[in-house]
């Protein structure tokens, strides 16, 4: 099975000496507009403040550059991307006849999903006359949750929908008290 690759859009910013425009509209870190300056003067202004000159808009008519701390700017962008990451709902299916080794393998997979901050739908499918043995399904759900209770909380309790019994799990949020 091939591993899925995560595609992260890299944004290449023109920074300091990589800027090729002769004149730029310069804005400093406080948002103050310095007007249109030549590249050399803008670079000197940025260096005098101990900051970087970043090309924000590279249109030919009005290139705009901003004076800022580039490391801090990158950190904010990464933080914003991390916050906007969508949570996926992963499903792991069981049967009431699932053997212990298979059960342990699937529970390990659930742990991996939870540690990746995904929501996990645990479902047990009943086939034929197995529907009459709902108690085994609920018992299996309790067993699964007992093994995951250290890292997971139940978002939705086990519910029966015709031939399917399902529950939703999410990662526990760890709260550390600093006394």
CATH for 29 = 3.10.20.80
Q: Could you tell me the strand order of the sheet in which 33-38 lies?
A: 33-38, 23-27, 64-68, 52-57
My answer on whether 94 and 139 are in the same domain is yes
pLDDT above 60 (res 50) = yes
Count of domains for the chain: 2
My answer on whether 38 and 75 are in the same domain is yes
Residue 176 — very low, low, confident or very high, per pLDDT cuts 50/70/90?
very low
For residue 167, with 0-12 CB atoms within 10 Å meaning exposed, 13-18 middle and 19 or more buried, which class applies?
buried
Say if 8 falls within a structural domain.
no
CATH code, domain with 111: 3.30.110.10
Of 62, 80, 98, the domain-final residue: 80
The pLDDT score that the predictor gives to residue 79 is 83
Of 37, 54, 80, the domain-final residue: 80
d(CA 10, CA 7): 9
Q: What is the pTM of this model?
A: 0.52
Q: Are 65 and 56 in contact (CB under 8 A)?
A: yes
Residue 122 — very low, low, confident or very high, per pLDDT cuts 50/70/90?
very high
Phi and psi, residue 66, nearest 5°: -125, 140
Say if 4 falls within a structural domain.
no
Say if 178 falls within a structural domain.
no
pLDDT above 70 (res 106) = yes
My answer on whether 64 and 98 are in the same domain is no
My answer on whether 115 and 147 are in the same domain is yes
My answer on whether 34 and 74 are in the same domain is yes
Helix 134-148 to helix 100-115 angle (10° resolution) is 50
In this structure, what token pair is assigned to residue 58?
């590279």
Residue 88 — very low, low, confident or very high, per pLDDT cuts 50/70/90?
confident
pLDDT above 80 (res 55) = yes
Range of the domain at 33: 16-80
Residue 3 — very low, low, confident or very high, per pLDDT cuts 50/70/90?
low
Query: What residues contact 13, with CB distance under 8 A and at least 6 apart?
Result: 54, 55, 70
Query: What residues contact 28, with CB distance under 8 A and at least 6 apart?
Result: 34, 45, 49, 66, 67
């Amino acid at each position: 099975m091939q591993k899925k690759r995560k595609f992260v859009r890299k944004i290449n910013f023109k920074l300091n000496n990589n800027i090729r425009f002769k004149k730029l509209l310069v804005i400093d870190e406080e948002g103050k507009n310095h007007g249109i300056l030549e590249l050399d003067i803008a670079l000197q202004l940025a260096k005098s403040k101990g900051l970087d000159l970043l090309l924000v808009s590279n249109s030919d008519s009005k290139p705009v550059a901003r004076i800022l701390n580039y490391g801090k700017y990158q950190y904010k962008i990464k933080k914003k991307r991390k916050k906007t990451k969508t949570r996926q709902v992963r499903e792991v299916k069981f049967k009431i006849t699932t053997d212990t080794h298979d059960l342990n393998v699937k529970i390990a997979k659930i742990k991996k999903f939870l540690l990746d901050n995904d929501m996990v739908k645990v479902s047990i499918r009943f086939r034929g006359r197995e529907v009459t043995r709902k108690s085994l399904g609920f018992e299996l759900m309790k067993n699964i949750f007992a093994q995951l209770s250290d890292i997971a909380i139940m978002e939705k309790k086990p519910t029966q929908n015709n031939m399917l019994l399902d529950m939703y799990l999410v990662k526990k949020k760890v709260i550390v008290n600093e006394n």
